[in-house]
């Protein structure tokens, strides 16, 4: 049977969530195999899965031990659905514990980290894979006896039951995590399960995902209205474009001009979203208010706090006014999966903790709005693919990260409009030159920092005493660590010449050659 909620019928794989931090990674890998999957709470009734017509079931890992009383169990009838089942980590323990004849015991030694998997028996799960694979483990219990009908198909140093199968019933179990990047060819192993064992068709695509999400958003929102704080960054832009596709003018986007934006940023947002996408866009021009509140403040933490607080005030004000005029019920946010610190669905109620999202943390509660987070299960690169599919331009989809407090953390010391204008002009030149030299999309971030010091220079016959601009250009994969990018000297020379010649108030440009750690990316 197929899922018919979308115009295209699709095979569905159910992932039962036992609270693993990797459940979403499993779903992501399944999407990478172009198969559609749905995550269900661990205790979902087998009848629900049957009604959905799932082609296969994956039991995720989880933090519990099957030996602990009250630890989560799937509906036993899941094993009677007549579809293949793959148990991963906690999932394999469940199979050993619940299917007759097997047993699980506390292992004297936790198996954690790398292991070498030796494939001992031919199995459809390992089709096309080499005989030895590096895999990644994380488990405490071990299987002592296999349930009836099962046999081992692969072993690691510490476990002779690292992979097991009951081929007749289509039941497979893996002691390691094939979904994590450290497990070599893990995705191929999952693909074998999905396509060869379950016989699922690999016809999932991003455009199909959009269709499905659009229907879901329409259903959730009904005739109500949605507010979204549009920052112009990738996440809020993609969320806006997706929700707009679903409900058009029922979505109102609010862009707060806090005076800490880049050159022409407000105009660009107005042009793209207001004109091109014909979105209901409200712009709150509040730069004077922000700068007034920030006057004389040079401590970075205080600056951040004031910026965050003022944003909430302004946003709250806009929302209160909007609510008087229309039935606004939702606050949309571009929260991505990595923003969701922990997704524990153990009680069947995924109670996720959200990282305090810069600027908007606490907003929905204060404003009595429900949250709408259509990107919650996606990873950054998937959000970019989604944005492209929705027609957002490359400059938005692939734009470099920009901090919530904007230029507030890039103009050091107390903020003032003339200094910010200098910074904006210098930064625009850097941006232009990074684009022109084809480096903008190759580095992680490239920006200017305004230093609150003046140095002596000479221009013509005149002695000058002006500000310093630092160039921060870094390479990184996740912003946790970073290194300064080796930009060709000629490009640096052009950037420096142009900034000093074209931006009055700057007579010196320096290059930051520090890595993170020990430095950070932003200077603050
Ligand atoms: P640091 O400076 O800590 O920055 O190395 C790591 C990454 O985070 C960005 N950043 C922020 N992003 N709100 C944000 O949304 C913020 O307050 C903020 N502060 C830093 C920074 O640009 C880099 O990509």
pLDDT in tens, 300-322: 999 999 999 999 999 999 999 99
Catalytic residue, chosen from 111, 179, 184, 382, is: 179
Neighbours of 153 (CB within 10 A): 22
Q: Hunting for tokens 């969530």 — which residue is that?
A: 17
CA–CA dist 421, 439 (Å, integer): 24
Task: Spell out the residues 6+ positions from residue 231 whose beta carbon is closer than 8 angstroms to its own.
Answer: 255, 359, 402, 404
Is 177 part of the annotated catalytic residue set?
Answer: yes
Banded pLDDT at 364 (limits 50, 70, 90): low
Residues touching ligand 1 (Cβ under 6 Å) are 358, 401, 403-405, 445, 479, 516, 520-522
Q: Does 345 have pLDDT greater than 60?
A: no
Enumerate the CATH 3.40.50.620 domain ranges in the chain, comma separated: 206-397
Take atom 12 of ligand 1 and give the residue whose Cα is closest: 403
In this predicted model, which residue has the larger pLDDT, 108 or 96? 96
CATH code, 206-397: 3.40.50.620
| CATH class for the domain made up of 12-197 | alpha beta
% helix, strand, coil for the chain, step of 5: 35, 25, 40
pLDDT at 159: 87
Pocket test for ligand 1, best of 335, 522, 523, 524 (most atoms within 8 A of CB): 522
Pocket test for ligand 1, best of 300, 301, 336, 401 (most atoms within 8 A of CB): 401
pLDDT at 339: 75
CA–CA dist 269, 271 (Å, integer): 5
pLDDT, mean of residues 198-210: 94
CA–CA dist 478, 518 (Å, integer): 16
Tell me the two tokens of residue 401.
Answer: 């990260």
CA–CA dist 51, 383 (Å, integer): 30
pLDDT tens readout for residues 259-280: 999 999 999 999 999 888 999 9
pLDDT at 360: 46
Banded pLDDT at 363 (limits 50, 70, 90): low
Closest CA to 263 of 454, 434, 432: 432
C-alpha distances out from residue 127 to 191, 193, 404, Å: 10, 10, 48
Enumerate the CATH 3.40.50.880 domain ranges in the chain, comma separated: 12-197
Task: Spell out the residues 6+ positions from residue 390 whose beta carbon is closer than 8 angstroms to its own.
Answer: 210, 238, 241, 242, 245
Closest CA to 66 of 40, 94, 46, 45: 94
pTM of the model: 0.86
The β-bridge relationship of strands 251-257 and 132-145 is unpaired
The pLDDT mean for the chain works out to 92
Enumerate the CATH 3.30.300.10 domain ranges in the chain, comma separated: 416-511
Catalytic residue, chosen from 33, 97, 139, 177, is: 177
Q: Hunting for tokens 């899941």 — which residue is that?
A: 78
CATH code, 416-511: 3.30.300.10
Tell me the two tokens of residue 429.
Answer: 């030149």
Is 89 part of the annotated catalytic residue set?
Answer: yes
Residues 380 and 369 sit within 8 Å (Cβ to Cβ): no
Catalytic residue, chosen from 89, 198, 253, 448, is: 89
């Amino acid at each position: 049977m197929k899922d018919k909620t979308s115009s295209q019928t699709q095979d569905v794989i159910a992932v039962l969530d036992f609270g693993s931090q990797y459940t979403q990674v499993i779903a992501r890998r399944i999407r990478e195999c172009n198969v559609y999957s749905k995550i269900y709470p661990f205790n979902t009734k087998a009848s629900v899965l049957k009604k959905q017509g799932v082609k296969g079931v994956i039991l995720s890992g989880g933090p519990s031990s099957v030996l602990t009383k009250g630890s989560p169990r799937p509906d036993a009838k899941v094993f009677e659905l007549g579809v293949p089942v793959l148990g991963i980590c906690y999932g394999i323990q469940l199979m050993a514990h619940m299917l007759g004849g097997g047993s699980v015991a506390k292992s004297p030694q936790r198996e954690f980290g790398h292991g070498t998997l030796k494939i001992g028996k031919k199995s459809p799960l390992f089709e096309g894979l080499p005989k030895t694979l590096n895999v990644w483990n994380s488990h405490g219990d071990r299987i002592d006896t296999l349930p009836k009908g099962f046999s081992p198909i692969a072993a690691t140093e510490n476990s002779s039951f690292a992979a097991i199968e009951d081929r007749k019933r289509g039941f497979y179990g893996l002691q390691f995590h094939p979904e994590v990047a450290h497990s070599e060819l893990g995705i191929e192993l999952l693909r074998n399960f999905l396509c060869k064992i379950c016989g699922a068709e690999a016809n999932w695509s991003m455009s199909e995902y959009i269709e499905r999400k659009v229907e879901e958003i329409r259903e959730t929102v009904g005739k109500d209205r949605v507010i979204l704080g549009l920052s112009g960054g990738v996440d809020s832009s993609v969320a806006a474009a997706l929700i707009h596709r679903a409900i058009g003018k029922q979505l109102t986007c609010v862009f707060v001009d806090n005076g800490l934006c880049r050159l022409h940023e407000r105009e660009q947002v107005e042009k793209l979203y207001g004109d091109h996408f014909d979105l209901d866009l409200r712009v709150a021009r509040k730069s004077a208010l922000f700068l007034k509140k920030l006057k004389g403040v040079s401590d970075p933490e205080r600056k951040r706090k004031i910026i965050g607080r003022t944003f909430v005030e302004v946003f709250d004000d806009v929302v209160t006014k909007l609510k008087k005029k229309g039935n606004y019920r939702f606050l949309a946010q571009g929260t991505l999966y990595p923003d969701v610190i922990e997704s524990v669905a153990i009680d069947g109620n995924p109670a996720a903790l959200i990282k305090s999202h810069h600027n908007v943390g606490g907003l929905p509660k204060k404003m009595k709005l429900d949250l709408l987070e259509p990107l919650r299960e996606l990873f950054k690169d998937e959000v970019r693919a989604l944005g492209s599919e929705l027609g957002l331009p490359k400059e938005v989809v692939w734009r470099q990260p920009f901090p919530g407090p904007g230029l507030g953390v890039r103009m050091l010391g107390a903020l003032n409009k003339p200094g910010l204008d200098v910074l904006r002009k210098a930064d625009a030149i850097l941006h232009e030159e990074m684009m022109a030299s084809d480096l903008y999309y190759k580095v992680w971030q490239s920006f200017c920092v305004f230093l609150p010091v003046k140095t002596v220079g000479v221009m013509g016959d005149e002695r000058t005493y002006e500000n310093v601009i630092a160039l921060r250009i870094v390479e990184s994969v996740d912003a946790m660590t970073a290194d300064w990018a080796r930009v060709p000297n000629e490009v640096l020379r052009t950037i420096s010449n142009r900034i000093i010649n074209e931006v009055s108030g700057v007579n010196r440009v320096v290059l930051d050659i520090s890595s993170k750690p020990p430095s950070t990316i932003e200077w603050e």
